[in-house]
Amino acid sequence: MANPTRIASTSPVLEGQPAPSANREMPGAVKWADDRIGLAKIGRAGLRKVFPDHWSFLLGEIALYSFIVLLLTGVFLTIWFKPSMAEIEYDGSYQLLKGMPVSEAFASTLNISFDVRGGLLVRQIHHWAALLFVAAATVHMLRVFFTGAFRKPREVNWLIGVGLLSLSLIAGFAGYSLPDDLLSGTGLRFVDGLIRSIPIIGTWAEFFVFGGEYPGDILIPRLYMVHILLVPGILLGLISAHLALVVYHKHTQYPGPGRTENNVVGYPLFPVYAAKAGGFFFIVFGFLVLMGGLFQINPVWIYGPYDPAKVTAGSQPDWYMGWVEGAIRIIPALETHILGTTWTWSVFLPGVGLMGVLFTGLGLWPFIEQWITGDKREHHLLDRPRNAPTRTALGVAGMTSYAMFWLAGGNDIIATRFALDLNAITVFMRVAVFVAPVIAFIITKRLMLSLQRADRERALHGSEDGVIVRSPDGGYSEGHLPLSHEEQFLLTQHLQHRVLEPGAETDASGVRRKKGGVSKLRARLSRWYLGHDIAKPSAAELAAAAHHGSHSAHAVEDGHGAAGVDGAGINGIEGPRHGVDAGHGPERAGLHH
């Protein structure tokens, strides 16, 4: 056991707090609790903990609150749902299916929808919340990726996030399958084929999962266990760890004046952040209730009970499985035969393989990036996406590939809605999933580098003053106003990594190096990753630029500063011109090529 006194005397969390203002007695109940569980120690460390404010930090909160809504509504649904595939005659109040042989799972879903007051509302909230949960988690992950929030020391939390996202897909799919309607049964048939396609163990895995031949009568009880116990249990544990690490690391913050790697600027947990976060929970909950009340989702009574011989045109999975669905649609037929066995690549590769590639790639990324950049520092200030151009471009390329797969998952809908040739769309998509990301990468990287250039220009020369002046000899030019100190800091505060150079074979004293030097491959990757960055202006360059424009700057401060717009205008005329037509110094000319 750790020694509590020592923790108190060295813990920065405690030291960071101002001393309590008065000797205030604890109220009785709190004292009772403190006597037993040491509430005050936790409160002292956490009650005024600072959280930075930014809209993009709400994305993860939406996922968290959707999850809470899922737990609450899910418990309500279990009160009536019967996870059984036993066949009964439907005898509820939905007249169109009366007397039909249906499974108990399907009948109880109809019972919840038509005979339990508020049941339909809760079922629809549950489904909408599931869609929102995966969507919010996905967008949250993109935010974390593009701002570099996964960097040291948060790699472990990134891995937990990857686990959460993959599990949420399983949770969603298992839940989608429970009502045993025609659409969910078609989804299960697909899962059956997917499992069967796994090389070597496929048939055995299929018989084990389904308890024999498809569809069997045990799958829905098993999926129910997965959906309400196994996966939510793991999700709950991982979410707790995810949040605990956020508290331990303290939240990242966007760069800005006064924000450093060593501090966190924002509002205290109690009362401001607690009020905002708590209020936001009610807003997310409220919107989900409105959606459950107003927007129909998964009307299983229209699809009807599952029948293994039926399927409807336009069958689609929930949105988050769309990319896998797309991959399975566009893969060309591919089966190999080795020694009397069959390897069904055209199901295994796009299904199991693609999901494996995405989640493995996501999980490895922080470590790959660290290896390429050689970056060992802790990072608590977020990157502006432009300042990590290759990462941003890779992210957009990944999103593009995902989007192409996802679109391919609706190739039949696209064909019928836009009167296009289904096969042509499919062939196009086969190419697009590989080519579109490359195009997206190139465009994004160019855009990010241009933004870097624009930042550099702005930091060096200030903002354009909006007054175009024609000189006596006919040239046009526009003057510049100096930036505020804050903005100039924001534009130049980021750390730029040096490209790694391949290590010498021997070290300084001529001794042959053991492992640990920079390999040629790593150096090449590093050049590809970092080599195109536009150097931000150095202090000397800024000083030179300021001197260059000092007349202008002085004029603002000393002369006509108080005159506002007019003063600026005058000053723009008087100030040095940054000619549109004229060449402008070596560093600038160089930058444009």
Partner 1 sequence: MSHDNLPVKDPDLGHSVPDPGLEPHVERYTDVDKGAGNRAYAAILMMLAAVPVLAIAFVVIYFAVPRDAYIDFGLLKANAQNVGFGLTGGLAAVLIGVAVIQWARVLMSDEESVELRHAASSTDDDRAAVMGLWDDGVEQSSVRRRKLLLGALGGAVGISLVPAVVLLADMGPHPTARLREETLERTIWAEGILLLNDENWLPIRPEMLEVGQLVNAQPANLRDLHGVEAHQAKAKAAIIVVRMDPNSIKVPESRKDWHVSGILAYSKICTHVGCPISLWERQTHHLLCPCHQSTFDLGNSGVVVFGPAARALPQLPITVNADGYLVAQSDFTVPVGPSYFERDSSQDFKDGDQ
Instruction: Count interface residues toward partner 1 (CB under 8 A).
Output: 136
DSSP, residue by residue, 30-69: HHHHHHHH-HHHHHHHHTT-EE---GGGHHHHHHHHHHHH
Taking the complex as a whole, the smallest distance from the CB of residue 217 to partner 1 amounts, in Å, to 4
Q: Taking contact as CB under 8 A, which single stretch among the options 372-380, 433-441, 465-473, 509-517 is the one that binds partner 1?
A: 372-380
Taking the complex as a whole, the smallest distance from the CB of residue 469 to partner 1 amounts, in Å, to 29
Q: Which of residues 29-58 bind partner 1 (CB under 8 A)?
A: 48-50
Q: How far is CA 244 from each of CA 223, 234, 238, 365, rounded to the nearest angstrom?
A: 30, 15, 10, 22
For residue 428, state whether it binds partner 1 (rule: CB under 8 A).
no
Q: Taking contact as CB under 8 A, which single stretch among the options 129-137, 329-337, 434-442, 552-560 is the one that binds partner 1?
A: 329-337
CA 214 vs. chain centroid, Å, equals 36
Q: How far apart are CA 342 and CA 346, in angstroms?
A: 12
DSSP, residue by residue, 150-167: TSTT-HHHHHHHHHHHHH
Q: Taking contact as CB under 8 A, which single stretch among the options 170-178, 210-218, 556-564, 571-579 is the one that binds partner 1?
A: 210-218
Q: How far apart are CA 169 and CA 240, in angstroms?
A: 19
For residue 93, state whether it binds partner 1 (rule: CB under 8 A).
yes
Q: Token match 């175009």: residue? A: 468
Q: How far apart are CA 121 and CA 24, in angstroms?
A: 48
Taking the complex as a whole, the smallest distance from the CB of residue 171 to partner 1 amounts, in Å, to 21
For residue 519, state whether it binds partner 1 (rule: CB under 8 A).
no
Q: How far is CA 584 from each of CA 129, 265, 538, 592, rounded to the nearest angstrom?
A: 56, 40, 18, 11
Residue 516 CB contacts under 8 Å (≥ 6 apart), including other chains: 503
Among 104, 192, 465, 533, binds partner 1 (CB under 8 A): 192
Q: How far apart are CA 210 and CA 217, in angstroms?
A: 8
For residue 248, state whether it binds partner 1 (rule: CB under 8 A).
yes
Q: Which of residues 451-480 bind partner 1 (CB under 8 A)?
A: 459
Q: Pick between residue 111 and residue 477 the one whose CB is nearest to partner 1.
A: 111
Q: Are 473 and 497 in contact (CB under 8 A)?
A: no
Taking the complex as a whole, the smallest distance from the CB of residue 40 to partner 1 amounts, in Å, to 19
For residue 199, state whether it binds partner 1 (rule: CB under 8 A).
yes
For residue 233, state whether it binds partner 1 (rule: CB under 8 A).
no
* Single-letter amino acid code for the residue at 88: I
Taking the complex as a whole, the smallest distance from the CB of residue 312 to partner 1 amounts, in Å, to 7
For residue 492, state whether it binds partner 1 (rule: CB under 8 A).
yes
Among 150, 210, 405, 428, binds partner 1 (CB under 8 A): 210
Q: Pick between residue 124 and residue 444 the one whose CB is nearest to partner 1.
A: 124
Q: Which of residues 380-409 bind partner 1 (CB under 8 A)?
A: 380
For residue 374, state whether it binds partner 1 (rule: CB under 8 A).
no
Question: 5-34 burial by CB neighbour count: b if 16+ within 10 A, else e?
Answer: eeeeeeeeeeeeeeeeeeeeeeeeeeeeee
Q: Pick between residue 158 and residue 441 the one whose CB is nearest to partner 1.
A: 158
For residue 80, state whether it binds partner 1 (rule: CB under 8 A).
no
Q: Taking contact as CB under 8 A, which single stretch among the options 32-40, 287-295, 352-360, 522-530 is the one that binds partner 1?
A: 287-295
Q: Pick between residue 248 and residue 528 the one whose CB is nearest to partner 1.
A: 248
DSSP, residue by residue, 509-542: TSPBP-TTSPPHHHHHHHHHHHTTPPPPPPHHHH
* Single-letter amino acid code for the residue at 11: S
Q: Which of residues 135-174 bind partner 1 (CB under 8 A)?
A: 152-153
Beta pairing, strands 101-103 & 463-470 = unpaired
Q: Pick between residue 498 and residue 513 the one whose CB is nearest to partner 1.
A: 498
Taking the complex as a whole, the smallest distance from the CB of residue 520 to partner 1 amounts, in Å, to 27
Among 33, 275, 442, 563, binds partner 1 (CB under 8 A): 275
Tell me the CA end-to-end span of the chain in Å, nearest whole number. Answer: 62
Among 78, 240, 360, 496, binds partner 1 (CB under 8 A): 496
Q: Taking contact as CB under 8 A, which single stretch among the options 185-193, 398-406, 513-521, 578-586 is the one that binds partner 1?
A: 185-193
